[in-house]
Amino acid sequence: MMMRKTKWLKTICLSVIGIGFSSTMHAQTKVSLQAAQNGGTISKHIYGHFAEHLGRCIYDGFYVGEKSAIPNTDGVRNDIVAALKNLNIPNLRWPGGCFADRYHWKDGIGPKADRPSIVNTMWGGVTEDNSFGTHDFLNMCKLLGTEPYLAGNTGSGTVQELSDWVQYVNFEGKSPMSDLRVQNGQQKPWNVKFWGVGNEAWGCGGNMTPEYYVGEYRKFATFMEGKDLYKVASGANVDDYHWTETLMKGIPLNLMNGIALHHYSFPSWEKKGPAVGFSEQQYFETMKTALRMDELITKHSAIMDKYDPAKKIGLVVDEWGGWFEVEQGTNPGFLYQQNTMRDAMIAGATLNIFNNHNERVKIANLAQCVNVLQAVILTKGEKMLLSPTYHVMEMYKVHQDATRIPLTVETDDYILGNEKLPAVSVSASIDAAGKSHISLVNIQSKKGEEITIDLKGKNFKQVNGRILTSGKVDDHNDFDRPDKIKPAAFKDAVLKDGKLTVRLPAFSVAVLELI
């Protein structure tokens, strides 16, 4: 794990301009890279995404329909497919979220003209025609080259309904459900591996107690029959450690492969503040909740270790990201928000935390993929843009299935008033080709950092890198300037005498490659 020590160091000048920027000083961070040690594999699945029937994520996002003038394949936008393939997204979670425990999958199969309409009572009260269902989603995953992660309905659904869904999508032999799949045009099964057994059972998934949910999970999971299924229990909301303890104690480990954790970042749950035009206090508070992810993973993992010391059960952070007020004039139930450099800070710091907790964190899903919350893609009619978060995910894809390099960090603090946060976060890995990558995030709003990385005798010959930053921390891409923020070549990394010196501007993310 990454360790931090607070240290006051002499500051020197750095010319970086930021929101509310009055200082041009920077301090120093020290990193010790244990390049000779093997920290285990960083699962590619922590770079997963989330597509819920919420606002304009599915309809008017991913899916525009076969008759749309926007170039598409079976109704799915070609530009979105191309953008997500460039991220190498490993998995995509669907249909929710809270929607999952209100969704009945049989409404979304068969001829589209015959599918019943439903009202999305959870998100905006809009009527959906079910034109995007199981076949549409699973075939879209084939286009994306990604693994589907289906969230089953254990709230308003039945054991038989979920059991039938597993058989419908996975059974190759002859059965009522596989026959129905063939009748609907899919000869071969999709072989879906990842299954959520309900969602947020403590809240929108049924307002259950953990003791009650344990019984429900055991029952549903027992009848989800098939080979190599990865079953994820509906886990804790943020710091509900009693929930994790109850599930780990009450569910046989051979009946469960993962346990979920949900945690969002915002200034406060009651006053989330605007996505653009936020104050430095709101920025600081958002980063405080984002960095709390490390504490949450550490404490939930400690509970899991008591019952599963071999770490066979994965911690699945299948909802994370920034959550702010919706954009003015949009449906409050659609959760549409802009995406700024603050979101890039959330993404970079959170992914570093996941990388450094690779022994227990096996899957994670950013919420959400298109037009909802901390989206990597925003659309407006035929227009599409890539957000700062998208660019962080693209820069970090080098860590997927790479071997973690253990490290320690001594960093100064980002101080605001009487509070402080660690200014710099770091993670590192070595890929199958032998290239080492270091990802660095400086969350400070006004100060750059000089970072000294001790390579511990590892003889690297060359360093290259890219950086994501901008003039103000609430800068963002919009449909008039879709490329305002994008990665650029990073030249302020110097390799000399077994050490790497990096000058990292305020609110920036950099990924370095050493060979």
Q: Rounded to 5 degrees, what angle do the CA atoms 104, 363, 58 make?
A: 40
Alpha helices in 37-170 (DSSP H): 78-86, 134-144, 159-170
Helices 280-307 & 341-356, crossing angle to 10 degrees?
20
| Sequence-ordered strand ranges (E) for 38-86 | 48-50, 72-73, 76-77
DSSP letter for each residue of 177-226: HHHHHHHTT--S-----EEEE-S-TTTTTT---HHHHHHHHHHHHHT---
- Catalytic annotation, pick one of 200, 216, 410, 449: 200
Tell how far CA 480 is from the center of its chain: 27
Q: In one letter, which amino acid is 433?
A: A
Give the strand pairing for 194-197 and 230-237: parallel
- Catalytic annotation, pick one of 52, 128, 285, 319: 319
Contacts of 19 (CB under 8 A, 6+ apart): 280, 283, 445, 472, 473, 474
Fill in the DSSP letter of residue 255.
G
Q: Give the C-alpha separation, 195 to 403, whole Å.
A: 26
The answer to whether residues 304 and 315 touch, using CB atoms and an 8 Å cutoff, is: yes
Q: Give the C-alpha separation, 472 to 35, whole Å.
A: 35
Tokens, residue 250:
């009450």
Q: Which of 183-187's residues contact partners 24+ apart within 8 Å by CB, and which partners?
A: 184/109, 184/110, 184/135, 185/135, 186/135
Q: Give the C-alpha separation, 381 to 471, whole Å.
A: 29
Contacts of 262 (CB under 8 A, 6+ apart): 200, 235, 236, 237, 238, 317, 318, 319, 320
Tokens, residue 56:
């304009």
Q: Give the C-alpha separation, 505 to 14, whole Å.
A: 8
Tokens, residue 388:
């700062």
Question: What are the distances in angstroms from CA 343 to CA 57, 322, 379?
Answer: 18, 7, 18
Q: Give the C-alpha separation, 26 to 29, whole Å.
A: 10
Residue 394 designated active-site:
no
Tokens, residue 333:
């139930």
Q: Give the C-alpha separation, 198 to 221, whole Å.
A: 10
SS3 122: coil
Residue 200 designated active-site:
yes
Alpha helices in 263-279 (DSSP H): none
SS3 429: strand
Hey, which residues are catalytic here?
200, 319
